[in-house]
Structure 1
Amino acid sequence: MNQRIEYALASEFGPSSEIIDLKKFASEAIALSHSVQNLQADQVSIAQECSVADIQSSLTSVWNSPMLSAYLYRSHDIAIASLHGSTSRLAKTRKKSAVASELYKELEDVQRLRANLDSIPLASWKLMSDAALFTRPPRNADYNTLTAIKTSDTDMDAPSDGIDSQVLITFTSHFKVQWRSSVLSKSSQHILMASQTLGDLFEVMPCVSNECPEELLEHGKVVGYKETNGMHGSSGCVIVINGLAYGDGLNEEDYADKLIQHLKITKSTSAIKKARTTIHDTPLSSVSLQINVPYWLLHQGNCEHFIVIDQIRLKHSKDPVTGYPLTLYQAPASLDLCQACTRIPAVWSIVGDVRLEASPCLLCGPCWQSMGEPTNEDEEVLVLPLPKYKLW
C-alpha cells in the first residue's frame, strides 16, 4: 500500500452514527436487557453453540508447553518478517529477511503440531502473499504503556445512583504529528460515565504540552525552571461539539470567548457559537453525541486534539464500580536523543551556551556532565530539565 494512502486512511474516522440521546439510550437499553435476561433457554443454547470446550484442552496443552508455544511465536514472526520484506516500500530500505528458509532440527512434538496446523482445511488460516499489501511494521501508537487499567487518581467519581451512571462512553484522543499536520496519531483512550462532565474528560487526558516546567522569575526575568516529575493541570481549553464551543470558565474571557473573537477577526464562515455552560458544568448525558465523529479540543495556546467516541454501552457487572474516568490506553512518549552522542535519550535542555551548536540543545546526563559548567561568568546559561516518564 502506498505510504501516503496508508497515513490518510489512519487519519480518517467513520462511518459516523446518528445523533444519540444518551438518556433515551439508557432507558431503552436497560428495558431491553431486562427482557433478554428472561430468556434463559436462549442463553443456554447460545452458550452451547459458542462453546469451545472441545478444543480448550488441546489449546491449553499447546500454550502451556514452552517448546510448542515458542515454535508458534517463531513461526508467526517468520511469516510477518517475510511479508514485511516482500513489500516494495520496505524492500528498498531494508534487506529481505532470510529467516523463512532457515533449517533447524525439529523435535517430534513440534513436527506433530506443524502437521496438524498444515492439515487445517480453512483457506484463510495461513497468511497469503497478498496480505503484504495490508501489513505494516508497528508504530509508536501501537504500543501501550499501561500494563493494567488505570483508575482516576482524583476525586472525579460521579454518584452511583441515576440512570446516567449506567451508561459508559469510550473516548479516544488523537493529536497531530509534528512532521505532517494532516496526519493524526492516537494518544490515549478513556472510559467515562454519562453522568460525568466534559471537564472530567479533559482533566484525565494526558498531553506533553502539560509537562512544561514552571518558570523561576527574578525581577520579571526568567532565571531558571522548576523540575517537573509528571503532568500538571492545564491553564484552560475549549471543546467544540455540534457547533457549540464549551469553554473552561476559569476567567471572564476564557478559551471559548477567544475562539469566537478569532473567528470574527478572520471573518470565518463557521457557525460556531459559545455554549451557555462550561466544560465542568456540562454532563455528557446533556450533550448529543455521535460515534466516529471527531470533536475538536484546543488548549495550551495552540495544542490541538481530536476526540472520537468509539463506543457507548451499558455498564456490565464486571466493570469497575469506582475509579472513573478509566484510562485503557496511553501511547508512549517520543523521546529526543542527545544531540552530542545521538545514542541516549536527552534529559537536559541547555539554553544560551556558546559551546554548543544550537540553543536550546538537548543533552543526556553524561554528555552534560563531561562538558562541565560554563567558564565565562558573563554567559547566561539556563539548564532546563526535560519531563520524566514512567511505565504504569
Structure 2
Amino acid sequence: MNQRIEYALASEFGPSSEPVDLKKFAQDVAVLSHSVQNSTGSEVNQTSISEECSVADIHNSLMGIWNSPKLLAYLYRTHDTAIASLHGNTSRLTKTRKKSAAASEPCNELHDVQQLQAKLDAIALLHIVNLTSVRLMPDAALFTRPPRNADYNTLTAIRVSDTDMDTPTDAIDSQVLITLTTHFKVHWRTSVLSKNSQHVLMASQTLGDLFEVMPCVSNEYPEEIVEDDKVIGYKETNGMNGSSGCVIVINDLAYGDALNEEDYADKLVKHLKITKSASTIKKAKTAMHDTPLSSLALQINVPYWLLHQGNCEHFIVVDQIRSKHSEDPVTGYPLTLYRIPASLDWCQACTKIPAVWSIIGDLRLEASPCLLCGPCWKSLGEPTNEGDEVLAVPLPKYKLW
C-alpha cells in the first residue's frame, strides 16, 4: 500500500456511533448492577458459576510457558524473525538490498522446545482450523507495515494523576469510565493526524480535567524575558506550563475556560461571525471546568476539536464508554494509558546526541536558529563580537514516566 494512503487512512475515524447520553448510561449501569447482584443468588450458586466459567487450566498452561526462559525466548525469536521477514518484503528498498531471511527451522532444538512446538501444531482451533493455518504467511506482507513512531508507548505502566480531582467516588457518574485519545496535526502535513495520548476519565469529571491532563509540546515552550518591549532571553522550564487559553467544541457548542472576561469561546464565535461562516457553533452556557462529561451526549469515533496556545489544534476522540470494573483503579483518575515518544532533533554540530539549545543570531554558526547540544554549545564559548545579539533558547525537556 502507498505510504501516503496509509497516513491518510490513519487520519480517518469511524464508523461513528449514535450519541450516548452519559447521564442515562450511568443510570442504566446502576440499575443493571443492582439487578445482577440480586440475581446471583446464594454463595453456592456463585461458586458453581465461577467454576463453570473458570479458565484456570488455560491460564496455568500459559503461565507455565511464560515463566520458562527457554520457551519464552523461543516464541519471541520465532515471532520476531517472522515479523522482520515481512517488514523486509514490504520495504521500499527491497530492490536494492537483500530481503530479510525467512525463519529457518532449528535443527537441534531443546527437548522442551520441541514438545512446545508439537503442542502448537497439534492444537485445533475450534476443532476445525489448525493453528498452522493462521501463522503469518508470505502473502501477509501485502497487509503489514513497519512500526511508526505513534505505535510505541513511552509509558511502561499506567500513569495516575498527581492529585485526585475533587470527585466523589461513590457517585453514580463515577461508575462510568470514558477512554479518550488525543490527536494532533503533524508539522509536515496539516491534513494528517497523529495519535498523541490516551486517557481514562470518570463521567463525573469535567472537560477541564481532560485538558489539564493531556500533554502537549506547546505547553512546554520557555517563557520569554521581556525588557522595554524586547525579548532579551528565555527562562528554562522543568515541566508543563499552564495554557494561556482553551476552547473545546462538542456538538456545536464551544466550551471556554472562563479565565478572562472574553475567553477563547467568545473569540471563536466572534471570528465565525466576522468571516461569515456557515457554522452553527455557539458558546456554551458553562465553562469547561464546570462541565462534567456526564452532562454531554458523546459519540464514539467522532473527533471533537480543541484549540489552545494561540493556534495549537488537537482532536479528541472517544474510544470507549463502559461501566467500571472491580479491578479498575479506585483513585488516580484521569489515568494516562499512552503517550507518544517525543521526536527529538539532533545537534547540528556533532549530529550524535539530541539538541537542548536553539541558538539565534550567532554568526559563527551556519544557520539561525541552530540546534546544539549542551557540550557543543559550551565548547563554542561566548560570542566574540560584542555587537552580536545572540539568544540561546532552551528546548523543551521531556520525561520518561
TM-score bracket for this pair, using the shorter chain length: over 0.9
Q: State which drifts further: 293-302 or 182-191.
A: 182-191
Are 1:60 and 2:63 matched, yes or no? Answer: yes
> What's 1:31 paired with?
31
Verify the 8 A CA contact 1:157 1:325 in the aligned structure 2.
no
Match of 1:235 in 2: 244
Structure 1 residues 43 and 187: CA distance shift in structure 2, 3 A: farther
Give the secondary structure class of the aligned counterpart of 1:100: coil
What are the Cα deviations for residues 108-164 of structure 1, in whole angstroms up to 9, with x where unaligned? 322232233233423543112232222221111122222222221245231224322
Identify the match of residue 397 of structure 2 among 369, 388, 392: 388
Q: Following the alignment from structure 2 to structure 1, what is the Cα–Cα distance between the partners of residues 321 and 106?
A: 50
Mapping for residues 208-223 of structure 1, pairs under 5 Å: 208-223=217-232
Match of 1:375 in 2: 384
**Alpha carbon RMSD of aligned pairs, Å?**
2.1
Give CA-to-partner distance per residue, 1:311-369, whole Å, 9 cap, x none: 11222222222222111111111111111222211011101101112111111122212
Where 2:134 maps in the other structure, the secondary structure is coil
Asked whether the equivalents of residues 85 and 94 of structure 1 are also in contact (C-alpha less than 8 Å), the reply is no
Q: Secondary structure at the match of 1:85?
A: helix
Displacement of 1:36 in angstroms is: 2.6
The one of 113, 118, 128 equivalent to 2:116 is 113
Question: Aligned to 1:269, which of 278, 303, 308?
Answer: 278
Identify if the C-alpha distance between structure 1 residues 55 and 25 changes in structure 2 by more than 3 Å, giving closer, same or farther: closer
The alpha-carbon distance between structure 1 residues 61 and 90, as it changes in their structure 2 partners (threshold 3 A), is farther
Q: Which residue of 1 aligns with 2:343?
A: 334
Q: For 2:96 and 2:395, how far apart are their aligned partners in 1?
A: 33
Q: Deviations over 1:211-233 (max 9, x none)?
A: 01111122222111111111111
**How big is the shift at 1:378?**
0.9
Q: CA deviation at 1:30?
A: 1.6
Determine the C-alpha separation between the residues in 1 that align with 2:46 and 2:8. 43
Taking the TM superposition and a 5 Å limit, the aligned residue runs for 1:241-280 are: 241-280=250-289
1:101 is displaced (CA, Å) by: 4.1
Counterparts of 2:240 and 2:278, CA distance in 1: 36
For 1:345, give the aligned amino acid.
P
Cα separation, 1, equivalents of 2:61 and 2:24: 46
Q: Note the C-alpha offset of 1:177.
A: 1.0
In the alignment, which residue of structure 1 is the partner of 2:127? none
Matched residue, 2:191: 182
- Aligned-partner Cα distance in 2 for 1:35–1:209: 48
Picking from 78, 88, 100, the partner of 1:97 is 100
1:78 correspondence with 2:76: no
CA distance in 2, matches of 1:101, 1:122: 18
Q: 1:105 to 1:291 in 2, by over 3 A?
A: same
Contact 2:22–2:297 under 8 Å retained in 1: yes
CA offsets 1:6-25 (integer angstroms, 9 cap, x no match): 21221111111111111111
Change (3 A) 1:163 1:57: closer
Task: Pick the aligned partner of 1:317 from 318, 326, 351.
Answer: 326
1:349·1:386 contact (CA, 8 Å) conserved in 2? yes
Distance 2:102 2:136 in 1: 16
Shifted more, 234-243 versus 260-269: the winner is 260-269
- Contact residue 30 and residue 172 of structure 2 kept, 8 A: no
Return the offset for 1:205.
0.7
Match of 2:5 in 1: 5
Confirm or deny: 8 A CA contact 2:164 2:331 kept in the other structure. no
Q: Which amino acid aligns with 1:359?
A: S
Say if 1:157 and 1:322, in contact at 8 Å, map to a contact too: no
Matched residues in 2 for 1:106 and 1:255: separation?
65
Cα distance in 1 between the residues matched to 2:99 and 2:53: 41
Find the residue that maps to 2:103 and give its secondary structure.
helix
* Cα distance change on mapping 1:316 and 1:113 into 2, 3 Å: closer
Per-residue deviation, 1:308:
0.7
**Aligned-partner residue type, residue 110 of structure 2:** L
CA–CA distance in structure 2, aligned partners of residues 50 and 127 of structure 1: 31
Equivalent residue letter for 1:10:
A
CA displacement, residues 175-218 of structure 1 (integer Å, 9 cap, x when unaligned) = 11112212111111111121211111111110000001111122
Aligned-partner SS, 2:338: strand
Quote the Cα distance in structure 2 between the aligned partners of 1:93 and 1:190. 43
Cα separation, 2, equivalents of 1:51 and 1:124: 28
Counterpart check, 1:206 vs 2:215: yes
Deviations 1:221-258 (A, max 9, x none): 21111111111111111100011111111112211111
Give how far 1:5 is off: 2.4
Paired residues of 2:120 and 2:131 also in contact (CA < 8 A): no
Letter in 2 for 1:53: A
**Paired amino acid for 2:153:** N
- Deviates further, 338-347 or 116-125: 116-125
